[in-house]
Structure 1
């Protein structure tokens, strides 16, 4: 079976082996703990040298898809989640405090949202919205999107605007337009797990780029441009997820200049830009001809609206349109109308200002209650990147915290490579219902972190 499938894949044999085994794992044809042929047996079946088989297995191991056991062979690795557990999956869901998801604080209950929907029900052209299919979105919805980009600081970059079904959809459209299966995409060593899902779905390989408190390190990025063959960089320059890093204006210009020098496209994720005061010019402003700019309203209004905007160079109009039709045909015009009205009335700007002010209060609380521990945070960020102590691993800590009633996201969800060791967890302080609930959750986590990990803690969870 292996030989027949692998022979059908063009290109270098080690890449063909990686592709076939990766596809089998993703499709469920191979399950965790399934044994794979030995290096020598695989080489014999394919009539290749053992070094080529070993190279393929090394790459699969680097991606975290297989593991080797001395004297026992090579096996499909245990499945690692590509996102935090849903609150509905957590124990004691009624009292559970979920700090594992970056939900906006109380935005869905804003009276401004209800007021907009009420007005929509009275004076909306329902027939016009329900009977026309426009892949990139109705013209006035796209213009509202451009106004939202202007509010976020992107006022100086021409290009096309597409209405998307949220930022995750915009990310998928951008990466689909820029890559083909088997390509490599550069990203921060710790990156948004939604990007990892896109890479898996599209058959892409992620290349880790080192970061510091300002995000992508120019020297690491340039080295990856020179050596990896990747022609796309995905990054979050503003309030990076999960580390909260904030790229300075000077660093943004450096990254843009390197991109221009090597002809590398940038996919800029700016879902948190509205929180920042004062605004920084998006990376897109520094390299508009190379940048796909992704944002949404989910972090401001709530994840249920599922409306976002993608700004992209006009030369990619056909490819983005094709990707849109292949995924959703178009974003929902009804929800796009809600979004457009909230932008046009200024309601969204009011909610954004409230979110930013409330996050300053919550970050102050986190700084006080977790002051004994090392962490990365920003005064206006939705989350905190908290480092582990006392022998805790991020995974064991998250499992024990979940057992005690608090959800956090372990760092391995964000690691691009299995070789990247995480020593932190992400706490989404925006997601607690109120100040009292946040205090309770952070106090519990602080108390848990203070205690040395017990041998075997949470292993059975």
Structure 2
């Protein structure tokens, strides 16, 4: 045991009973005050038990409680580490607005990333790794992408798969291929802000299609395809962003048939498709010749890799998209693409996904307990909360900010101004589950109050 990882032991209240709570509270205080930093290794359990003069089960229980609160992460053979990055911005706000996966339960992402980077650098010639690479990725990288996509769309030819530097770059390139300025894309009334930004930049219009609890209504979609002559239909079929709705298998088949009959291609943005343990078949498995499938690793593993995969309808379409990508983003980062490929090939990506899925399920259960009116699938990293009529969205955000919460409302996702008020609550923005619980309880208490200055007669 080194002095650097044991100074916090002076905080342990030895008079506390049970003693494991004294260890837990000391650890929590040391992390909160910055004495222990993210990624710092804690003493081995046996060494800590000997230092404190307690039995091993006491320390084991304290570490388990700290892990349950999201304070620490442990991996067999490596030890226990302080959990990474707290989800607070520069103003000290708990971020419930940014959609990213939570830290994987039982795994240290930073350690896995360091190991992967070291292995990639040991295996590859740095001069080759840091040179220019083909737009769309190498054959090995495309094959890894096809393997990652298989649970949702089955086996797909590697020639149809492209490795791209993030979903936003792929969306911008796709829109340039499919639509001209002044033309339109059909979307749900609340949709991904990145699509709104890309279409606004390119001068492409967005036409909302009426929805129900599963997404686009097939009859309304058919009517709009005939009337508006859209250049594409954009869908997020699993854990829709922001409403968290999932389109069922039967509805997917109906929507796919409508689009195929109308000759309108589908952009299937299935960012969350791998989160369910039993994923539903993607549109690219239903009508592959009419679907551009986009799947990013940002929502299932980590956004920092900036790696996504696109499955084109055919080989020729893949080549056209590769040219469009090369004109704008040149290529995906070779190092990030190599790490993603290694993780997928070695099975690490599936372990990470399982850890994210497990932590997400625990956070969803917590959220449903605190905010029972919120809607979200058990494995979704976000949920949707309709706002009470007496709480205008802007007033909620202002009041929440005063309580240390960062929120995002329906207007950030709305295609038209006449959408019901609501909040998308992201569950992965804060690393610590206990911090998330505090934030959700604070929000619940806020919504239970009357808005300041509201006139009641």
Distance 1:441 1:221 in 2: 39
Residue by residue over 1:290-316, the C-alpha shift from the partner in whole angstroms, topping out at 9 and shown as x without a partner, is 100001111233211111111112232
Distance 1:441 1:390 in 2: 22
Aligned position for 2:208? 208
Residue by residue over 1:122-153, the C-alpha shift from the partner in whole angstroms, topping out at 9 and shown as x without a partner, is 222222222343111111111111111114x2
1:331 to 2:329 alignment? no
1:289 to 2:289 alignment? yes
On the 8 A contact 1:234/1:266 being kept in 2, the answer is yes
Aligned position for 2:94? 97
Distance 1:400 1:326 in 2: 45
| Secondary structure of 1:273's aligned partner | coil
The size of the alignment, in residue pairs, is 364
Aligned position for 1:56? none
Residue 150 to residue 416, structure 1, CA distance change in 2 (3 Å): same
- How many Å apart are 1:185 and its aligned residue? 0.2
Distance 1:133 1:284 in 2: 27
Residue by residue over 1:46-66, the C-alpha shift from the partner in whole angstroms, topping out at 9 and shown as x without a partner, is xxxxxxxxxxxxxxxxxxxxx
Q: Equivalences for 1:306-455 in 2 at 5 Å?
A: 306-313=306-313, 314-371=315-372, 374-389=373-388, 391-418=390-417, 420-455=418-453
Residue by residue over 1:270-326, the C-alpha shift from the partner in whole angstroms, topping out at 9 and shown as x without a partner, is 111111121111111111101000011112332111111111122323431232122
Aligned position for 1:120? 120
| Secondary structure of 2:289's aligned partner | coil
Provide the TM-score with structure 2 as the length reference.
Answer: 0.76
- How many Å apart are 1:114 and its aligned residue? 2.2
On the 8 A contact 1:209/1:216 being kept in 2, the answer is yes
Distance 2:267 2:116 in 1: 32
On the 8 A contact 1:390/1:451 being kept in 2, the answer is no
Residue by residue over 1:397-446, the C-alpha shift from the partner in whole angstroms, topping out at 9 and shown as x without a partner, is 1232123211111111011112x323210000122221210111001100
Q: Which blocks of at least 5 consecutive residues in structure 2 are unaligned? A: 1-86
Q: Which blocks of at least 5 consecutive residues in structure 1 are unaligned? A: 1-86
Provide the TM-score with structure 1 as the length reference.
Answer: 0.76
Distance 1:267 1:274 in 2: 17
- How many Å apart are 1:213 and its aligned residue? 2.0
1:276 to 2:273 alignment? no
On the 8 A contact 1:415/1:422 being kept in 2, the answer is no
Residue 318 to residue 186, structure 1, CA distance change in 2 (3 Å): same
On the 8 A contact 1:270/1:293 being kept in 2, the answer is yes
On the 8 A contact 1:189/1:209 being kept in 2, the answer is yes
Aligned position for 2:300? 300
- How many Å apart are 1:355 and its aligned residue? 0.9
Output the aligned Cα RMSD: 1.9
After TM superposition, which residue ranges in structure 1, 4 or more long, deviate above 4 angstroms?
156-159
Distance 1:249 1:102 in 2: 25
Residue by residue over 1:351-406, the C-alpha shift from the partner in whole angstroms, topping out at 9 and shown as x without a partner, is 101111111111110111112xx322111100110111151122321232123211
- How many Å apart are 1:226 and its aligned residue? 1.4
Query: Please, which moves more after superposition, 310-319 or 95-104?
Result: 310-319
